[in-house]
Amino acid sequence: MHINAGALHYGVSVFEGMKAFACKDNKIRLLNPALNAARMQKGADALLMPQVPTDMFVNGVMEAVRRNREFVPPYGRGTAEQMLSRCFRTCNNASMYIRPLLFASGQMLGLAPLANEYTFFVTVLPAGGYFGKGSEVGVKALVSSNHDRAAPKGLGSVKAAGNYAADLSPVHQVGLPNLCGTR
């Protein structure tokens, strides 16, 4: 990646988040990854990045899951405990989290010209329920009128990497990272 990469200097990056679940019949299933591909394409358009074709996106996701099948927590509660961190051990809905990412890896110092190189990859990791035990007992939530996660009329409708940086300060101010399910 170039030291002046657009992703580093201007946040030219979009991502998706999805899950793979082991089912009772021992098959691993995802919920319509083509919809995630379409959402990433919308984000790429918003940041003037080339789109990842749907077939490349889906094939990349499926290949990452296939190569890491052993890390998909098994169906049910029991043996998932051995694979997941202490925080997730009692979660009922363990899964493999899948993170496809597209970013401007080529030089882009200044807003023009656009980067001439982009990188797409898929990373995976075992995960517990999004809210830890909260899905069983309820969750604590923070509603703040002092922070905006995404600018109105800006990139708030796409999964641009920079949108989520705005969550760091309010989440850490109230101590939410110490709750199960957030790290």
DSSP annotation of 124 reads E
Q: Domains in the chain, ordered, with CATH?
A: 6-178 (3.30.470.10)
CB 153 within 8 A of CB 159: no
Looking at residues 41-69, what average pLDDT do you find?
97
- Read off the pLDDT of residues 157-175 as tens digits, 9 standing for 90 and up: 888 988 878 778 887 877 7
Identify the pLDDT of residue 157: 83
- Read off the pLDDT of residues 48-60 as tens digits, 9 standing for 90 and up: 999 999 999 999 9
State both tokens at 130: 């999004």
Any catalytic annotation for residue 27? no
CB 108 within 8 A of CB 21: no
Q: Can you tell me the distance from the alpha carbon of 1 to that of 168, in angstroms, rounded to the nearest whole number? A: 26
Give 136's contacts (C-beta < 8 A, 6+ positions apart). Answer: 90, 92
Asked, as a colleague might, if the bond just before 113 is cis with ω within 30 of 0, I would say yes
Q: How high does pLDDT run on average in the chain?
A: 82
Candidates 42, 133, 140, 159; catalytic one: 159
Identify the pLDDT of residue 10: 93
CB 16 within 8 A of CB 124: no
Identify the pLDDT of residue 88: 39
- Read off the pLDDT of residues 2-29 as tens digits, 9 standing for 90 and up: 999 999 999 999 999 999 998 888 899 9
Q: Can you tell me the distance from the alpha carbon of 108 to that of 113, in angstroms, rounded to the nearest whole number? A: 7
Count of Cβ atoms closer than 10 Å to residue 177 Cβ: 11
Q: Is the pLDDT of residue 182 over 60?
A: no
Buried (b) or exposed (e) across 92-105, using 16+ Cβ within 10 A?
ebbbbebebbbbbb
Phi-psi category of 132—alpha, beta or left, where left has phi over 0 and alpha has psi -120 to 50? left
